Structure 1
Amino acid sequence: MSNLADPIKEKTGTAATLDLRDSRWLTFSRSLITQNIRASYLIVLDSILLILARYITESLSSTWNPTWSFKENPSIIILLVGINISIFLTNGLYKSGKHRRNYPAIFKSISISSLIILLVAFLYFPQALVARSTFLLFWAFSFFFVSFGRYISNLIIIQCNKANLFLHSVFLIVDPQNASMVIDLIRGCAYYKFCGWDEITALSLENIDNTITRLRAIGVSEVYIHANPLADPMYVYWKLQHAGITLYLLPGELKPVFREVELSYIHSIPCFRLNAPSIEGISFLLKRVLDFLGAAAFLVLLSPIYLFLSIIIS
């Protein structure tokens, strides 16, 4: 395996290493462009569906105050949609992958935004509150329309992936003895277009510029590297970033982890954290019973607050 030289040193007999801060051309990450387009589409879709939910709610209800009426005060929709979209962004519902179809998070986000809207109405428009049934109807329609829109969008994305549309072009740098296993792993992702692989020597000081030129020529947006150890990974990262290519470093052992892990850092060194179960030595059924009892107790404790808000609204 070839070692990468120090990026700030000169190699004997060759020109000095290019300063990575010296941009010869303006480049954009291909994967970032795709993610931004997808996020923008979801933001526009959610906004339209929230407006539709508001319009249908007003059409079905006859107890609207003019201050909160979309038909009589169209500017109020900016506040309503803005709060919802802001909560969605905070909860990461516009990230790629499973985040866009995280329906429990959508339910929580819409509930939080509805409570915020209710609080704003109580503090700043105490004489313009709406009926309780109208408030609950808008909350239910918002969750249903947004969830249905995300579900249909996910089906459309799956069909586009099957038709080889909007795929992430991926290239693999791997040791030959592990190539077949890692290639099968990459090809198992429906949203990836596998563009080929090369040995780790492609990242040597003599070859890395030619490798990046080849990756740009075939339109690669992401590079997966499986090498243990990889010399000077930050140098490789900066070179790929300079070309607008996203870098992924695969772990040494490709074995699935059947627990949810968290990425943390110890003195800038990444490590994975696997949390121990809260209850040990007890059957899973008993744990579910305790979860249910805890949730029920939580609702009972909050019921006076919800009752107080419902009385104010009505």
Structure 2
Amino acid sequence: MDEIVSNQNRRWGKTTDIRAPEKLKLSKLLEWSWSRILALLISDLLAIAIAWQFARYFNQFYSPIPSQLVWWTWLGIPSPFWLFFAVTILCFTQAGLYSSSTEWKNYWKVGQITTLIYLGTLVLSYFYDPQLNPPRSLFVTAWFSSVFLLVGLRLITTLILKQCQATTSPTPIFLIADSQARNRLSQSIPQRSPYQIIGVADTSSINKPETFKAIIKTNPKEVLVADLPESELASRLYWKLRRRGIALRLIPSSRETLYRRGVPEIFAGIPTLRVEPPTMGGWEYRLKRYLDIIGASLGLIMLSPLFISCAIAIYLSSPGNPFFRQKRVGLHGKTFYMWKFRTMVPNAEALQPQLEQQNQTDGVLFKVQDDPRIIPIGKFLRRTSIDELPQLFNVLSGEMSLVGPRPLPLRDVKKFNSWHHTRHNVVPGITGLWQISGRSDLEEFNDIARLDLYYIDNWSINLDLEILVETFRIVLFAKGAY
């Protein structure tokens, strides 16, 4: 038995525990995304510095920082700031908010950690000197402004970083899948993402030494695995890639997708994933509704001059009502009228049956790139997504949200498969994962429906924020709209 294990280890080139890291190489250090880390550090430093300076200025006349807490001053800023900044950076680093994964975009966690640090500081100050009474106004001002500025500047930094990433060379990946999935992914991945496939292998060879040698030879940043057989564990490949600093990305099955929020636990000697409802899940959804009302109200007020200008421009381009409303399917299949700026001739819906043969999708959706019904200014309104802005009225009325699955016309919904209707279990939105994952480039409705299901299963306030930031970037650079 020992000889068999030894031969197997030699076959895989294993001389140490698979979890043992390789020697750190200078070339690996140079490959790390230090520019992103530096940008986030500067963003966080500015946010905390501005917050503290604002709090000091706001409170300097009647409740300044107690002298007992100022041990030194550097660059005109007292010592508590530098200690707080150091603790914040350490906590953010430990939480992965500077890592290469998507965790660095977890704005919700940024606010949570910042709040916990402030509360912890309050407790420590009491134990440091029970007689010391830090000014409440100073504490609350610094707390709320820190959370607001940290999240706000990170949102702006994320927008800049995402655009810089979009203009850089594609990220090389190695694809492991069966022949059918390879053909489909080889066509869709370069079109829909900043990734380039530099090598492929069949799923049946995932644990063969030749496959790993091919991965190392092509030197990818990530390895994408689709349709992994249930009998084949990815753990061996994962640890071998991890030692090389290569990320592993798995395309899960429907069952794995359902349980992706599970917590690993041993149950009766069996590895399991435990999924339970959150203790206070309802308040987060209520917060989403409050943010919808605030965002839609501010948007309508700030964009009112743009609304007036668009209405005049549309009327001059094509006489008639500048607004267009269409019956769409919303929550639980209930229909409502969705508002848009009119981008087509007034009788566009009556002309649509004549264009069905030119449809460029799989038939469920209706998309024609050079639609003859579009009025002169319509292309500009569609490319910039300005035509969608009147849906802020739908958000205020509760028929829509800022983020959610896109509500579709009755014509499209009639062609749904049964599982497609799952998207109607949540309030539809102005933007969603569909809009930031390809928009008009997605031609198969099944891909769109899967994005909607992913959004529903993984919904959080933070995911909404990520989608809003990415939507703003895409709209700003007019990508994928026609």
**Contact 1:161–1:190 (CA<8 Å) still a contact in 2?**
no
Mapping for residues 1-314 of structure 1, pairs under 5 Å: 8-9=6-7, 18-21=13-16, 26=23, 34=32, 38-39=36-37, 41-62=39-60, 63-64=63-64, 65-69=66-70, 74-89=78-93, 91-96=95-100, 98-126=102-130, 128-164=132-168, 168-183=171-186, 186=189, 190=193, 192-200=195-203, 203=206, 205=208, 207-208=210-211, 210-216=213-219, 220-226=220-226, 227-229=228-230, 231=232, 233-251=234-252, 253=253, 257=257, 261-266=261-266, 271-275=272-276
The 3-state SS of whatever aligns with 1:129 is: coil
Task: Name the CA distance, whole Å, in 2 between partners of 1:100 and 1:289.
Answer: 21
Q: 1:273 to 1:95 in 2, by over 3 A?
A: farther
1:11-56 deviations in Å (ceiling 9; x for gaps): 9xxx965335399x84569699636764464345323421232123
In structure 1, what residue type is equivalent to 2:174?
Answer: F
Q: 1:164 to 1:126 in 2, by over 3 A?
A: same
Task: Name the CA distance, whole Å, in 1 between partners of 2:285 and 2:209.
Answer: 61
Q: 1:110 to 1:245 in 2, by over 3 A?
A: closer
In structure 1, what residue type is equivalent to 2:181?
Answer: N
Q: 1:164 to 1:262 in 2, by over 3 A?
A: farther
**Contact 1:57–1:134 (CA<8 Å) still a contact in 2?**
yes
Task: Name the CA distance, whole Å, in 2 between partners of 1:107 and 1:233.
Answer: 35
The 3-state SS of whatever aligns with 2:7 is: coil
Task: Name the CA distance, whole Å, in 2 between partners of 1:54 and 1:80.
Answer: 10
Which residue of 1 is the match for residue 362 of structure 2? none
Task: Name the CA distance, whole Å, in 2 between partners of 1:230 and 1:289.
Answer: 39
Superposition deviation, residue 81 in structure 1: 1.7
Superposition deviation, residue 242 in structure 1: 4.6
Superposition deviation, residue 66 in structure 1: 2.7
Task: Name the CA distance, whole Å, in 1 between partners of 2:189 and 2:141.
Answer: 44
Which residue of 2 is the match for residue 303 of structure 1? none
The 3-state SS of whatever aligns with 2:78 is: coil
Structure 2 portions without partners, runs of 5+: 288-482
Structure 1 portions without partners, runs of 5+: 1-5, 293-314
TM-score (norm 1): 0.65
Task: Name the CA distance, whole Å, in 2 between partners of 1:204 and 1:124.
Answer: 57
In structure 2, what residue type is equivalent to 1:110?
Answer: T
Task: Name the CA distance, whole Å, in 1 between partners of 2:204 and 2:285.
Answer: 55
**Contact 1:8–1:17 (CA<8 Å) still a contact in 2?**
no
Superposition deviation, residue 151 in structure 1: 0.6
Q: 1:278 to 1:150 in 2, by over 3 A?
A: closer
**Contact 1:170–1:193 (CA<8 Å) still a contact in 2?**
yes
Please give the root-mean-square deviation of Cα atoms over the aligned residues, in Å: 4.5
1:134-193 deviations in Å (ceiling 9; x for gaps): 22211122112211211111101220222135x643211111022244446755874644
Structure showing greater relative contact order (alpha-carbon pairs closer than 8 Å, 6 or more residues apart): 1
In structure 1, what residue type is equivalent to 2:154?
Answer: R
